[in-house]
A and B are shown apart, each in its own frame.
Chain A
């Protein structure tokens, strides 16, 4: 079985977002880039499955759509344990552009299972997984919070509005995963970092695609006004203010 994990390169979660001069993008100076946290959970689960089912997973590949600046993130995925990495050489404009490129990679690589995070922490669009499924016609499940291999394919738990479902899913499949899917993301070990030096990172050129949407401007949230402090022994006053002043209860 071959697993392909799609990863996107995002600013570290502690980054304070500053806008660039034209307000179309964010200031990248001094930003630490990481594997999108949900994608990292997908990769972690892929590693766990490979360890728990010795011999049944032949290769774990990672793919990202971006320019050369995403390569450190891909190499981190290699250091954590992925066998090979693919970069599609395109700075994507929207989820659709990403999905079209990934679909091409899937057709070339023929993985049995495609994993990705439920969303990326920069665009927050949650679009790529379902788009990829629609483009490829694979079985697909979103909001996956538990994943095991079974004799016929996959056993999955997913979150639905107001509950959870357990499903049987055949292969090939595309799953978008969320928290709960894996334990803590892994820190690359020295041995892994060393081995990553000799693992392949393949760069492929993109196929032509027209984006369906574009970000034309960014804005930052307005600064909050000062917090009104209430004495510790006066819970009643807080409730009064919420009722009479803020009018939220």
Chain B
């Protein structure tokens, strides 16, 4: 057992922290309020290599391990989860999916610009009538010989508008149910694609979430990932890794709220002393810290398992479910500790609370995670 981060891990964590505390903090409240996409920040984080940090350097990535990635995700999420979700989707869904399962040609053509952050990726799985249940895909990809023809609608797509590259999950052989599903790399600007309006969300307001409509969109055959019918497995495997990213995001929301609460409790006075000296507040901080520490350990364990090439699906589900649930609890307590100040935007914690809610919902709700966890416990 070794809980010591390496010097390089510390350097990466500090780099992400510096960027978040120095740059993201400046306009995060305004971007949240106006739901403005963080164009400059995505560009800057791309230049720093955070957008493709897990990708092998031979495909222009940062070549970092999953532990580095979750450390960076936590620090960015302490300040701006809208930015970290863009980072998460690009890294752990799109880049990971193509790098792990794509052909050499696909990596050359699509992965490199994604790893450099010149293009941002989006992962198109959810549908109006298929959120958590990924088996019932209504979007179809009809095999037309040398190309596929895409038709249908995808919902809640992070980076839906700004992405340059889509990973689309669609049904090719409805009769085979989930074994007929395929995954495709699709140029966002291909003919027949239209993007719906920006969703006006409760939190993560500056990430662009859209629905995307496909009408007779031609996708070249060579853009299919894996064998015919590999799509469902592809989506499930990719989401396993994606969960680590969102777990790290939830962790960041919680630990960011805790940091702010500690600082506030040491400065704010009530009844003649700093509120940190009141046991009611001190115990809240203690409870929050235990939850954050537990979540961090789970998240790091999942990342470590993945880096070791070991089975991590159940642990990443645990990490995602636990971190998301405690993020909601810890951010809510943070607002409570801040009192009236917690309810106004200047003190940041109300935003963290709104954002925490989404981590319990997207990339597999907490309930779905429990299904994953319990199935793994109960399987023979």
- Interface residues in chain A, defined as those with a beta carbon under 8 Å from any beta carbon in chain B: 32, 71-72, 75-76, 79, 184, 187-191, 193-194, 197
- Are A75 and B62 in contact, with the CB atoms below 8 A? no
From 5 to 51 in chain B, residues with beta carbon under 8 angstroms from any chain A beta carbon are 7-8, 10-12, 14-15, 18-19, 22, 47-50
Contacts of B62 in A (CB 8 A): 189-191, 193-194
| Cβ-defined partner of A184 (8 Å) among B22, B49, B50 | B22
Given contacts A72-B11, A76-B11, A190-B48, 11 further A-B contacts (CB under 8 A): A71-B7, A72-B10, A76-B14, A187-B15, A187-B18, A188-B48, A190-B49, A190-B61, A190-B63, A193-B62, A193-B64
Q: Say whether B11 contacts A189, CB under 8 Å.
A: no
Complex Cα distance, B65 from A197, in Å, reads: 14
Nearest first, the 10 A-B pairs at minimum CB distance are A190-B49, A190-B62, A189-B48, A189-B49, A187-B15, A72-B7, A187-B18, A190-B53, A188-B15, A194-B63
14 contacts between A and B (CB under 8 A): A32-B14, A71-B7, A72-B7, A76-B14, A187-B18, A187-B19, A189-B48, A190-B12, A190-B61, A191-B62, A193-B8, A193-B11, A194-B57, A194-B62
Let me know if B47 and A189 touch, CB within 8 A. Answer: yes
Give the CA-CA distance A213 to B177 in the complex, in Å.
81
**A191: B residues at CB distance < 8 A:** 49, 57, 62
Residues in B whose Cβ lies below 8 Å from that of A32: 14
Report which residue of B11, B19, B22 has the largest number of chain A beta carbons within 10 angstroms of its beta carbon.
B11
Of all chain A residues, which has the CB nearest B46?
A189
Which one of B50, B62, B64 has the greatest number of beta carbons of chain A within 10 Å? B62
Residues in B whose Cβ lies below 8 Å from that of A197? 8
Residues of B within 8 A of A (CB): 7-8, 10-12, 14-15, 18-19, 22, 47-50, 53, 57, 61-64
- The answer for the CA separation of A72 and B8 in the assembled complex, in Å, is 8
Q: How distant is the Cα of A187 from the Cα of B49 in the complex, in angstroms?
A: 11
Which residues from chain B contact A72 at a C-beta distance below 8 Å? 7, 10-11
Query: Which of B12, B19, B49, B57 has the largest number of chain A CB atoms within 10 A?
Result: B49
How far is A32 from B63 in the complex, measured between Cα atoms in Å? 25
Report chain B residues within 8 Å CB of A193: 8, 11-12, 15, 62, 64
Per the bound structure, the CA–CA distance linking A237 and B83 in Å amounts to 48
B18 cross-chain contacts in A, Cβ below 8 A: 187
The residue of chain A having its C-beta at the shortest distance from the C-beta of B9 within the complex is A193
Asked if B47 and A75 make an inter-chain contact with CB atoms under 8 angstroms apart, the answer reads no
A79–B8 Cα distance when bound, in Å, is: 10
List chain A residues, Cβ under 8 A from B22: 184, 187
List A contacts of B14 (CB < 8 A). 32, 76
Residue of A nearest to B44 (CB): A187
Complexed CA–CA distance, A59 and B15 (Å): 24
A194 → B minimal CB distance (Å): 5
Q: In whole angstroms, what is the CA distance A57 to B144 when docked?
A: 58
Could you tell me the distance between the alpha carbons of A189 and B63 in the complex, rounded to whole angstroms?
12
Instruction: Give chain A nearest CB distance to B263 CB in angstroms.
Output: 10
The distance in angstroms between the C-alpha atoms of A194 and B68, with both chains bound, is 12
Most chain B CB inside 10 Å of its own CB: which residue of A32, A189, A190, A193: A190
Query: CA separation between A41 and B36, bound complex, in Å?
Result: 32
Chain A hits for B57, CB < 8 A: 191, 194
Q: How far is the CA of A79 from the CA of B64 in the complex (A)?
A: 14
Chain A residues lying within 8 Å of B64, measured Cβ to Cβ, are 190, 193-194
Please give me the residue from chain B that is nearest to A72 by CB atom. B7
Measured in the bound complex, the distance between the Cα atoms of B62 and A194 in whole Å is 7
- Which B residues are CB-close (under 8 A) to A187? 15, 18-19, 22, 48
The minimal Cβ–Cβ distance linking A195 to chain B, given in whole angstroms, is 10
Tell me, rounded to whole Å, the shortest Cβ–Cβ distance linking B13 to chain A.
10
Residues of A within 8 A of B15 (CB): 187-189, 193
Q: How far is the CB of B100 from chain A (nearest CB, A)?
A: 19
Q: Which residues of A contact B19 (CB under 8 A)?
A: 187
The docked-state distance in angstroms from the alpha carbon of A187 to that of B12 is 10
Across the interface, which residues of A come within 8 angstroms of B49, CB to CB? 189-191
**Interface pair B11/A75, CB less than 8 Å apart:** yes
Q: How far is the CB of A158 from chain B (nearest CB, A)?
A: 27
Write the nearest CB–CB distance from B99 to chain A, whole angstroms. 15
Measured in the bound complex, the distance between the Cα atoms of B206 and A182 in whole Å is 31
Chain A residue, CB-CB nearest to B18? A187
**Alpha-carbon distance A9/B64, docked complex (angstroms):** 26
Which residues of A are found within 8 Å of B8, using beta-carbon distances? Answer: 193, 197
CA distance A191 to B117 in the complex (A): 13
